[in-house]
Amino acid sequence: MSYDLIVIGSGPGGYVCAIRAAQLGMKVAVIEKNPTFGGTCLNIGCIPSKALLQASERFEEATHMLPKMGVGVGKPKLDLPTMMKFKDDGVDGNVKGVAFLFKKNKIDSFQGTGRILGAGKVEVKGTDGKTQTLEAKNIVIATGSDVAKLKGIDIDEKRIISSTGALALDKVPEKLLVIGAGVIGLELGSVWRRLGSQVTVVEFLDRIVPGMDGDIAKSFQRILEKQGVTFKLSSKVTGVDTSGKKLKVQVEPAAGGKAETIEADVVLVAIGRVPYTEGLGLKEAGVELDQRGRIKTDAHLSTNVKGIYAIGDAIAGPMLAHKAEDEGVAAAETIAGQAGHTNYDVIPSVIYTFPEVASVGKTEEELKAAGVAYNIGKFPFTANGRTKVNQTTDGFVKILADAKTDRILGGHIIGAEAGEMIHEIAVAMEFGGAAEDVARTCHAHPTRSEAIKEAAMAVAKRAIHM
Ligand code: FAD
Ligand code: NAI
C-alpha cells in the first residue's frame, strides 16, 4: 500500500498532522500501537487529568465555597468509582472523536507498532504478530514520550505510581508522597488532596515549577501550602522500602546529608517525561538523536534523513499537547510545499490547579539572563471587582514589556481561570502588540480579564484601580 504520508503515533501531534495533510489533498495513513487513538494526551494525560481536576474541584467547592454563598448542599460524599467513570466517559468521547475525524478525512489507520525500514518504508506489526509493509513519500514520527523513571524505585502503578496510576487509584490514599514539584505532581497532588489525602511533595530544586516565572512560583507555593500541601524543597528521594504495610520513603537533602524517613501509602513519581522512540528502527534508518534521546530536527521539523519528519514530545521543546498539534500542522504544510511554521516564542502553558497558573513568552528570570531591559506591570486580583465579589482573589497578572518599544515579551497569571485568560496576551504577542495596545483595548466589566488590562496599564504606571 502506498501513501503520500504515513504518521506514526496518533497523539495530538500525529492525529492533527494526519488531518491537516488530508485537508491538503494527501493520501494519509496513521499507525497506532494502542487500541485507541489520541496518545498520551487523550488516554492517560491532559484529558483524564482535567476530568479529575474538575470533579475534585467541585467536591472541594461543595465543602468550602457553596455554604458561603448560601447554597446548602450538606457534606458532600465522595463516590470515587463514579468519579472515575466520569473521567473514563470523557476519555471515551474524546478518543472516539479522533476515530470519527479520521473517517471523515478518509485517513487509513493501522493498529500495530510501526518500525521504519528506511526512507519511504514502514513495517506495521499487529498485536497478532503479523507484519505488513506500507510505503509512503513522507513519514512523520509522532511517537510522543514516556514516564521518566527514578533509579532504584520500581513503579508498580499500585503503591508506587506514575501519572497513569494516579489517574486510576481505587481508593484515596491517606498519605500521598509526590516526587517532583512540576506540573504533574501539583495537578495530581491537588486532585488527591481535595479528595482527602495528606500530600507531601519532595522537590530536588529550591523552588517549585522550574521554568515558570519566579514571582508566580513563590505565590503558587504559598497558596498550595495554605490549601494543606507540604513541600520539602532541595530534597531528593533515595529509596522506598515497600516491605511493610506503609511505604517508608528515604528523603535526603539534595546536596547530601542526613536522611529522614517519611511514611506514605502511595508514592507518585513525577520527575518528568522522556522521548519515546523504542523499537522505531531509528538507528538502522540513520535518524539522529540528540544527547537527551530526542529526535533531532531542523527548523522545518525534518530529521537528517530526507522524507522523515518528527514532531511533538519526541523532539526538543516543551512537552505540551498544543505544541505537538502546531508542529503537526506545520509538518503537514511543509510536506505540501507550504511555509509551515511554529512560533516557539508564543506557546502558552497552563497548570490546571486552583488557582490556575498560566504563562506565555519570557519569564523575568529569562529576560534578566538575556540582558533585556524590561518594564513590569502587575495587578492583583484583590483589586478586581469580579474576583472580589466572587471571593476568588488569590493571585495576580504580570506583564513584561520591552523597556524601549513597549512590546509584550511575556505574560504570567496566577488566579481562577488563568488558563482561559492567558490567550489574550498570547494573541497580542503573536501580533507583535505593545502593552499599550492591551491597555487601550476596551474590556467588558466585570470580568477577570480586566486585571490583564490593568496590568498592561501598570506597565506605564497608570493602573486605575490600584
Ligand atoms: P503522544 O500523545 O505521547 O502520542 C504518541 C502516540 O504514539 C501514542 O499513542 C503511542 O502509543 C504511539 N506510538 C509510539 N510508538 C509507536 C510505534 N512505534 N508505532 C505506533 N504507535 C506508536 N499537555 C498539555 O498541553 N496540557 C495538559 O493539560 C497536559 N496534561 C498532561 C497530563 C499528564 C498526566 C501527562 C502525562 C501529560 C500531559 N500533557 C499535557 C502532555 C501531553 O500529553 C503531551 O505533550 C502530548 O500528548 C504529546 O503529544 P504527541 O503527539 O507528541 O505524543
Ligand atoms: P516536570 O518537568 O514538569 O517536573 C518535574 C519536577 O521534578 C521538576 O520540578 C524537577 O526539578 C523535579 N525532579 C526531577 N528529578 C527529581 C528527583 N530525583 N527528586 C525530586 N524532584 C525531582 O515534569 P512532570 O511534572 O513529570 O510532567 C512531565 C511533562 O508533562 C511536563 O513537561 C509537562 O509539560 C507535561 N504536562 C503538562 C501539563 C499541563 O500542561 N497542564 C500537565 C501535566 C504534564
Ligand nearest to the CA of 167: 1
323: CA distance to ligand 1 center in Å?
A: 11
- CB atoms near residue 399 (< 10 Å): 29
The full set of domain ranges for the chain reads 2-146+274-335, 160-271, 349-459
pLDDT digits over 132-186, tens only?
999 999 999 999 999 999 999 999 999 999 999 999 999 999 999 999 999 999 9
Q: Which of 322, 341, 445, 465 is catalytic?
A: 445
pLDDT digits over 244-289, tens only?
999 999 999 999 999 999 999 999 999 999 999 999 999 999 999 9
Torsion of CA 169, 174, 180, 184, to 10 degrees: 40
- What are the distances in angstroms from CA 439 to CA 168, 273, 458? 45, 39, 9
Q: What pLDDT does 1 receive?
A: 83
Q: What pLDDT does 216 receive?
A: 98
Phi, psi of 318 (to 5 degrees): -60, 140
Detail the DSSP E strand segments found in 385-448: 396-402, 408-415
169: CA distance to ligand 1 center in Å?
A: 21
CA of 321, closest atom in ligand 2: 40
71: CA distance to ligand 1 center in Å?
A: 40
CA 3/CA 26 separation, integer angstroms: 8
317: CA distance to ligand 1 center in Å?
A: 14
Give 417-461 as a DSSP string.
Answer: THHHHHHHHHHHHHTT-BHHHHHTS---SS-TTHHHHHHHHHHTT
CA 178/CA 201 separation, integer angstroms: 5
Residue with cell 535526603: 252
- Which SS3 state, helix, strand or coil, does residue 455 take? helix
- Ligand 1 site: residues with CB under 6 angstroms? 8-14, 31-34, 39-41, 45-46, 49, 113-114, 142-145, 163, 184, 276, 279-280, 312-314, 319-322, 324, 352
Cβ-Cβ contacts under 8 Å for 128 (sequence gap 6 or more): none
Ligand nearest to the CA of 114: 1
Rg, Å, the chain Cα set: 23
Closest CA to 199 of 215, 180, 216, 217: 180
Residue with cell 471587582: 385
CA 72/CA 62 separation, integer angstroms: 9
Q: Which residue positions in the chain have pLDDT lower than 50?
A: none
- What are the distances in angstroms from CA 16 to CA 92, 107, 463? 18, 11, 41
Among protein residues, the one whose CA lies closest to atom 15 of ligand 2: 271
- Which SS3 state, helix, strand or coil, does residue 66 take? coil
445 is catalytic: yes
CATH of 160-271, one of 3.50.50.60, 1.10.287.3510, 1.20.20.10, 3.20.20.10: 3.50.50.60
Detail the DSSP E strand segments found in 288-355: 308-310, 349-351
CATH architecture of the region 349-459? 2-Layer Sandwich (3.30)
DSSP 3-state percent helix, strand, coil across the chain (nearest 5): 35, 25, 40
- Ligand 2 site: residues with CB under 6 angstroms? 150, 179-185, 187, 202-205, 210, 236-237, 270-273, 318-320, 349-352
The answer to whether the CB of 217 falls within 8 A of the CB of 207 is yes
129: CA distance to ligand 2 center in Å?
A: 35
Determine the topology of domain 2-146+274-335 in CATH.
Answer: FAD/NAD(P)-binding domain (3.50.50)
CA of 235, closest atom in ligand 2: 20
Residue with cell 496518545: 39
CA 289/CA 270 separation, integer angstroms: 24
CA 457/CA 156 separation, integer angstroms: 52
Phi, psi of 265 (to 5 degrees): -90, -35
CA 368/CA 98 separation, integer angstroms: 43
Phi, psi of 202 (to 5 degrees): -100, 120
Side by side, the strands of the sheet bearing 235-241 are 235-241, 247-253, 260-264
Ligand nearest to the CA of 115: 1
10, 32, 40, 163: residue to mutate for ligand 1 pocket, most atoms within 8 A of CB: 40
Q: Is the pTM value of this prediction over 0.95?
A: yes
Residue 266, strand partner residues = 176
CA 132/CA 124 separation, integer angstroms: 5
Q: What pLDDT does 118 receive?
A: 87
Domains 160-271 and 349-459 in one fold = no
CA of 14, closest atom in ligand 1: 51
Detail the DSSP E strand segments found in 323-422: 349-351, 356-361, 374-380, 396-402, 408-415
Among protein residues, the one whose CA lies closest to atom 12 of ligand 1: 9
